[in-house]
Structure 1
């Protein structure tokens, strides 16, 4: 999940500490900031060509100049009393490449409010899944190309979470303070029976949780999501989405960060296979920007499940598949507020589907 203002940026890279934000108001314990970015890029990607059965039978290169997630954001906080602060953030996206016809601020990115203090942090609203922030992003949180994960996989048809696009909203989360390096998060996503994206037809609250430990330059995090709100009826078929979990370790030394990930999607339906994602990523700040890359090995299927009479119902080892993914890239800082990037990706799909290159420029304010 690309975020230009990288929360995981390391020393040596000016990319986005939020220092570009302009403070509109700051008085009597109340602060309001305005920030944003313009991102315009060029990409050329091998688009999969499929037959009537949905199989990839070819790929055709397609290119475009496009908006890569230009954002306008507001954030604020106010001191309620000593040790307790209320805060909010609201981000809106617009299409900088087609501004005349795109309809202005035409979609949202994340929006939430919360309370923070010595007790920790309670947040309510819409933002990225915990497994995205803690497990997936340390491997690749790039400008355009990322390695696949159990939430989004490029042309990896055997791994699919139905309704994954609705996972960011309607969430409540508690994040603890650090206890001798340990920190935990627990939360839920609530979908009422009046919600259009509710597949089950009844009100439901999913559960997700994570645990993180930090010791100096080393950190390790684990996260779990029961995907309960992705269960439901699609057409005439009842689907149990399964479970999603992973663990990621990071080590930072000066301007070098290295991360290692093991992520698993455990499917509970016949339409998607189980999958393991083994990822290695690194990012190095060379003074005028970053160079970065990642390798990931994906093992799909292979776990054999049988019914009560012994028939194989899913995961026949003879039908298992493996994939090797590589993403590399570099940024160059034109100024404190502007940088350029170039990326390339190889996904090991049939007919080289999803492989591509991208270049772009970003201006932050």
Structure 2
């Protein structure tokens, strides 16, 4: 059956939030796109911290400039304003810079950028971070070494192995130290779970032509800060991770599965880190021609050899949801997080279900 234009558009939007950016300027080799979304959403849960209004506004820009025949400069910035706060409470509203980096691209020789960007382990984890609302909370944690969005990362990427192998791509990354004594414009990082020492990472992926199948792998290693090594949970002077994933994305079907492991990296509240964490995630989605996209997923992250506890699940839930795209700019969704953590889990983690409903406008 021939796909409708709507089906093609929303399939892209479902996996790329900036796909519908508005072009602000495009002249003489200079281009600037502005994008954003308004997400009006509400959580329903017996757990007070997971219940209530979760609305936010997110805006950003992506720009590039043609320097010469070989070299192109580019930059991106993205910010989020939480809309569930009263007027005058912005100082403690949790508003945040999500991304902010600049770089140079050298044709088939790759690109290099620096700033606040995604860590290379997220090259794997992004494939299952596509639930209508939840997901991306197994071993992918913001400002947790190089597992998700991170500060001070220098990244080299090459999308086709110097023009020699179509579909073969790799990345190399370095992250500078961010701890309680770091000298940066916003001050030191006192939240121990968000600190990191110097670290390195790499990813390698391959897309098999004309099949819809892609493979991805990544590995990282970072120094742990002095404060992290003094915490009750977690030991060793290195935080390490690796992961691998496979996905199928064709014929209106999206299937993805990943496995990741971390050592002394996945945080357990304010008490420290799991000595080892094993994470498995899987998701299946289908895009109907008339705009409906149902989604089914599962995430389980198990902490291993936790001091005084042993092995215990850190994250475990089934996710059932769906998104309906009215058009390329407007959609609505419902997402049901069916928590599978034990009622008497040894870490006293929240095991209540959560239902999210919302309406999204994006451009």
Question: TM-score, structure 1 length as denominator?
Answer: 0.76
Q: What is the rounded CA distance, in whole Å, between the counterparts of 2:208 and 2:159 in structure 1?
A: 15
Match of 1:360 among 355, 358, 361: 358
Equivalent residues of 1:10, 1:256 under 8 A apart: no
Equivalent residues of 2:277, 2:304 under 8 A apart: yes
Q: Secondary structure at the match of 1:350?
A: coil
Q: Give the number of equivalent residue pairs.
A: 321
- Match of residue 123 from structure 1: 113
- Structure 1 residues 22 and 188, CA gap change in structure 2 (3 angstroms): same
Match of 1:282 among 267, 281, 284: 284
Q: What is the rounded CA distance, in whole Å, between the counterparts of 2:110 and 2:144 in structure 1?
A: 33
Q: What is the rounded CA distance, in whole Å, between the counterparts of 2:144 and 2:156 in structure 1?
A: 26
- Structure 1 residues 243 and 219, CA gap change in structure 2 (3 angstroms): same
Q: What is the rounded CA distance, in whole Å, between the counterparts of 1:339 and 1:11 in structure 2?
A: 9
- Match of residue 310 from structure 1: none
Q: What is the rounded CA distance, in whole Å, between the counterparts of 1:279 and 1:22 in structure 2?
A: 33
Match of 1:95 among 82, 93, 104: 82
Equivalent residues of 2:9, 2:328 under 8 A apart: no
Equivalent residues of 1:147, 1:327 under 8 A apart: no
Equivalent residues of 1:267, 1:274 under 8 A apart: yes
* Superposed CA offset, 1:79-120 (max 9, x none): 001122101111111123447345399421101111112211
- Match of residue 55 from structure 1: none
Equivalent residues of 1:147, 1:294 under 8 A apart: no
Equivalent residues of 1:333, 1:340 under 8 A apart: yes
- Structure 1 residues 336 and 163, CA gap change in structure 2 (3 angstroms): closer
- Match of residue 5 from structure 2: none
- Structure 1 residues 319 and 96, CA gap change in structure 2 (3 angstroms): closer
Equivalent residues of 1:123, 1:174 under 8 A apart: yes
Match of 1:146 among 117, 127, 135: 135
Q: What is the rounded CA distance, in whole Å, between the counterparts of 2:9 and 2:213 in structure 1?
A: 13
- Match of residue 221 from structure 1: 216
- Structure 1 residues 297 and 188, CA gap change in structure 2 (3 angstroms): same
Match of 1:208 among 201, 206, 222: 201
Q: What is the rounded CA distance, in whole Å, between the counterparts of 1:347 and 1:241 in structure 2?
A: 31
Say whether 1:42 aligns with 2:42: yes
Equivalent residues of 2:322, 2:335 under 8 A apart: yes
Equivalent residues of 2:98, 2:149 under 8 A apart: no
Q: CA RMSD in A?
A: 3.4
- Match of residue 347 from structure 2: none
Ranges in structure 1 where 5+ consecutive residues have no aligned partner: 1-8, 48-59, 154-160, 303-313
- Match of residue 253 from structure 1: 250
Question: TM-score, structure 2 length as denominator?
Answer: 0.77
Q: What is the rounded CA distance, in whole Å, between the counterparts of 1:163 and 1:14 in structure 2?
A: 28
Equivalent residues of 1:13, 1:290 under 8 A apart: no
Equivalent residues of 2:329, 2:362 under 8 A apart: yes
Equivalent residues of 1:221, 1:247 under 8 A apart: yes
